[in-house]
Amino acid sequence: MPRKKKVSANLFRFEANLLQNGNIELLVSSPDDKEVEKLLAEGMPEYSGSHAVASVMRYLRSMGDEMLEKSGKYVY
């Protein structure tokens, strides 16, 4: 029996990288929540969680923004 391939999409990423010069690089990335909601609603109309996915993405983005803001006193 063939194994099902896991399909996933990255909805949010926060990275803290130590660069070679000793600086710390903070990165936040996330696709546009409204676009993801629209794509889910149009591409998978049987899926009823489009709005919930977009809401979680907005929450994660706000937390990422807060982490960037608060880390400013540690990272120059």
Hey, what's the torsion of the CAs at 65, 69, 70, 74, to 10 degrees?
Answer: 120
DSSP summary character for residue 16: E
| Nearest residue to 32 (alpha-carbon basis) of 54, 65, 63 | 54
Tell me the per-residue pLDDT of 33-57, one tens digit each, with 9 for 90 and over.
Answer: 999 999 999 999 999 999 999 999 9
pTM of the predicted model as reported, rounded to 2 decimal places: 0.80
Tell me the per-residue pLDDT of 15-27, one tens digit each, with 9 for 90 and over.
Answer: 999 999 999 999 9
The residue extents of the domains of the chain are 33-76
